[in-house]
Amino acid sequence: MKKIIIYFIIATGLLGGAFTFFKYNTRTSDAEVTNLESQEDLSEKEREELIAKNVERYQPKGDKENSKGPGITAQSAIVVDEETNEVLYAKNVHKKMPPASIIKMLTFSLALEVYNVDEKIEITEHASKQISNKINMKAGEKMSLSDLLYGLMMISANDAAYAIADAYEGGFEAFIELANEKIALLGLSNTVMANPAGLDDPNQVSTVYDMATITRYALLEHPEVVKYAGKKTEHSVYATEDNEPHWWFGHLSQMLRSYKGMIAAKTGYTDEAGTTYIGIAERGGRRLVVVLMGGSGPSANNDVKALLDYGFAN
């Protein structure tokens, strides 16, 4: 009996060792393909293969301009079926423009990959001095990443975006480098992040096609994005020894409250960018992603409605 037990232990150890070797020496698993934080050990060929896999997994399929579809005032827009990843509507999808705060969708994914959701992030002076929209945190306060992410996605808090970037190992510039490395590994060539909030910067550009890719990445790898970008009710941060109380009322997106089936949204606006928008909507078992850039004030909501209605009808 003792011999049988010994043989069983040896066999189990050998199998475990084989599994460990396979796990850490195979580069084709989904987990490794989607781990974009650090790929410094990849050869040039492996990097090219990784980018090709990411292009296939995340980038929308088809980008031809629509000869039919709604007339919209926004300069560019795209509607993508999340399940098939097929483009249902396209207008100027590769036109490079300032993205405004929809770039925070990338900041969101990076944050979940470099921090734990319950981790306390110390607010820097740099972050506390950012312009509104903001949570209005003071330098030295500590907030959980989760609360920062609610502020980031619900009220487009610029101080939350900068706090997330400043706390990264290596600092703000290292975070920006990480973001642009992720962009490159997703196979995107028309997007550059210069700051994590979407504030106007001549070097910061994107396209609706690229932002649809970044949104798909978030949905597939961090599906909790719907929770953070889809919360309609108020959010309260109670006072602790680390922070003062903070509170904000609901989500900035009117369409999140009024459009049937809208489950998550990310708003954006600057003087240079105009209105930008990411919306995620579900109807009849289908989920669509709409991205709009270069919108004009209230008419942007009409554009979003028309685009989603068209997408669900086709």
Sorted by where each begins, the domain ranges of the chain are: 70-313
Question: What pLDDT sits at residue 5?
Answer: 40
Out of 53, 76, 91, 104, pick the active-site residue.
Answer: 104
- List, in sequence order, every beta strand (DSSP E) within 152-261: 235-237, 246-248
Question: What pLDDT sits at residue 297?
Answer: 82
Judge whether 101 counts as a catalytic residue. yes
Question: What pLDDT sits at residue 39?
Answer: 62
Judge whether 156 counts as a catalytic residue. yes
Give the integer Cα–Cα distance in Å for 14 and 292: 54
Helices 145-154 and 158-166 cross at an angle (nearest 10°) of: 140
Question: What pLDDT sits at residue 63?
Answer: 84
Give the integer Cα–Cα distance in Å for 179 and 255: 29
Residue ranges in the chain whose pLDDT is less than 50: 1-34, 37
Question: What pLDDT sits at residue 38?
Answer: 52
- What is the 8-class DSSP label of residue 129? T
Question: What pLDDT sits at residue 263?
Answer: 98
CA distances from 19 to 9, 10, 12, 23, 24 (A): 15, 14, 10, 6, 9
Question: What pLDDT sits at residue 237?
Answer: 97
Question: What pLDDT sits at residue 72?
Answer: 96
Whole-prediction pTM: 0.88
- CATH architecture entry for 70-313: 3-Layer(aba) Sandwich (3.40)
Question: What pLDDT sits at residue 2?
Answer: 40
Judge whether 64 counts as a catalytic residue. no
Out of 156, 182, 206, 305, pick the active-site residue.
Answer: 156
CA distances from 165 to 122, 184, 293 (A): 11, 19, 24
Neighbours of 241 (CB within 10 A): 5
Give the integer Cα–Cα distance in Å for 276 and 51: 27
Residue pair 305/265 in contact by the 8 Å Cβ criterion = no
Give the integer Cα–Cα distance in Å for 127 and 136: 10
CA distances from 179 to 114, 131, 170, 188, 302 (A): 11, 22, 13, 12, 32
Q: What does the mean pLDDT of the chain come to?
A: 90
Give the integer Cα–Cα distance in Å for 39 and 32: 9
Out of 53, 76, 91, 101, pick the active-site residue.
Answer: 101
Question: What pLDDT sits at residue 25?
Answer: 35
DSSP string for 231-285? --S-EEE---SS---EEE-S-S-HHHHHSTTEEEEEEEEETTTEEEEEEEEEETT
